[in-house]
């Protein structure tokens, strides 16, 4: 049966390097499901694979969209499944990699069905965001749906507003519509997780941010500053520098906020991925032969 090997884990843990090694071993391609790497204007701040890494295996969904396009998880699910159907005709094993839990689940399990709600709710919530700040929405979600509050990126205003409009529009928690029966997939799934001690993860994140700044993240963010309202740019690494450009903090503080928010993001990633008992976890330093042997064993079982 066709099999999709998916590599998950916190940011900066080494998922890209492992995905390339596996793609070369199994002679297959790589689908990225990192929701920030879709956008061609965002290279440094999203840790897009280096040119030599992209050349080492065929990649899909890397910088294939513009920040000016309206692209969401539903669109990605359809595009990814269509691409997989085509790739499986050539090779029965394919690789998917990324740290965006919602996008991983969309491909492996399918999206949840949410009913239509009053379209006036979203503008009201957007106005509240602009007037009272994101904390107001976070507190509202915590009250209406503590389960979702613990499981989504609460620093992402788009995700917050989406969850709240369902809560308000239906009178039921957003989480009550999650994990309903979905259309089965026509491929087998093997999910590999990479992990390390928290201190190591945090140190790798801090080092990555320093490298990003050295490689020109400040200039990249400045070029995108006029478009800071776009949904694609409501993300760690850019949002903090926009605050600096707005004059709300100095550069050192903005950099420290990128590191802090990246660490928080990594913590949420681990919370999300650890919910799946079928994920096979490895230490990020484990010999790749151990991982390949385990995958091969699972493939033939």
**Predicted confidence band at 295 (pLDDT cuts at 50, 70, 90)?**
very high
The residue-averaged pLDDT of 198-205 equals 97
Return the closest-CA partner of residue 129 out of 222, 234, 258: 234
DSSP assigned state of 189: E
- Domains identified in the chain, total number: 2
88 and 235 assigned to the same domain: yes
- Structure pTM? 0.81
Closest listed residue to residue 134, CA positions, set 30, 3, 261, 22: 261
Q: Does residue 201 sit in the same domain as residue 60?
A: yes
pLDDT tens digits, one per residue of 117-162: 888 898 899 989 989 999 999 999 999 999 999 988 888 898 899 9
Spatial distance between the Cα atoms of 115 and 52, rounded to a whole number of angstroms: 45
What pLDDT sits at residue 181?
Answer: 65
Q: Within 13 A of 251's CA, how many CA atoms are on the CB side?
A: 7
- Pair (159, 37) in one structural domain: no
For residues 145 and 38, membership in a common domain is answered with no
Whether residues 132 and 271 share a domain: the answer is no
Q: How confident is the model at residue 180 (pLDDT cuts 50, 70, 90)?
A: low
Q: Are residues 127 and 105 in the same domain?
A: no
Q: Say if residues 246 and 269 touch (Cβ distance below 8 Å).
A: no
For 65-109, what is each residue's pLDDT tens digit? 999 998 888 889 999 999 999 999 999 999 999 999 989 999 998
In a domain, 116, yes or no: no
Residues 59 and 187 in one domain: yes
CATH code: domain of residue 252 = 3.40.50.300
Backbone angles phi and psi of 72, in degrees to 5: -135, -175
Provide the token pair at 242. 């926009």
Question: Residue 112: is its pLDDT beyond 80?
Answer: no
- Distance, in Å, from the CA atom of 117 to the CA atom of 218, rounded to the nearest integer, reads 40
Q: What is the pLDDT of residue 115?
A: 80
Same structural domain, 229 and 285: yes
Whether residues 100 and 140 share a domain: the answer is no
Is residue 193, in this structure, part of any structural domain at all?
Answer: yes
Which domain covers residue 235, as residue numbers? 3-111+182-300
């Amino acid at each position: 049966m066709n099999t999709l090997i998916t590599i998950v884990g916190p940011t900066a843990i080494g998922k890209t390097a492992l995905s390339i090694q596996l793609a070369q071993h199994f002679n297959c391609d790589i689908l990225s499901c990192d929701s920030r790497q879709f956008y061609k204007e965002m290279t440094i701040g999203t840790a897009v694979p280096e040119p030599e890494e992209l050349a080492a295996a065929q990649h899909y969904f890397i910088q294939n969209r513009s920040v000016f396009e309206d692209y969401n998880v539903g669109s990605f699910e359809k595009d990814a499944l269509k691409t997989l159907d085509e790739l499986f005709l050539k090779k029965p094993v394919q690789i998917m990699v990324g740290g965006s839990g919602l996008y991983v689940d969309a491909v492996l399990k399918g999206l949840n069905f949410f009913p239509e709600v009053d379209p006036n709710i979203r503008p009201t919530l957007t106005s509240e965001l602009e007037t009272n700040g994101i904390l107001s929405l976070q507190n509202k979600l915590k009250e209406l749906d503590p389960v979702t509050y613990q499981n989504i990126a609460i620093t992402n205003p788009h995700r917050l507003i989406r969850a709240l409009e369902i809560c308000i529009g239906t009178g039921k928690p957003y989480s009550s519509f999650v994990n309903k029966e979905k259309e089965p997939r026509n491929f087998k799934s093997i999910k590999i997780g990479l992990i390390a001690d928290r201190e190591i993860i945090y140190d790798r994140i801090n080092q990555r941010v320093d490298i990003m700044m050295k490689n020109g993240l400040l200039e990249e963010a400045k070029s995108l500053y006029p478009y800071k309202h776009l949904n694609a740019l409501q993300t760690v690494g850019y949002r903090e520098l926009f605050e600096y450009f707005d004059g709300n903090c100095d550069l050192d503080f903005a950099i420290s906020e990128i590191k802090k928010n990246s660490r928080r993001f990594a913590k949420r990633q681990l919370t999300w991925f650890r919910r799946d008992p079928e994920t096979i976890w490895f230490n990020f330093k484990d010999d790749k032969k151990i991982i390949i042997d385990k995958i091969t064993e699972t493939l033939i079982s």
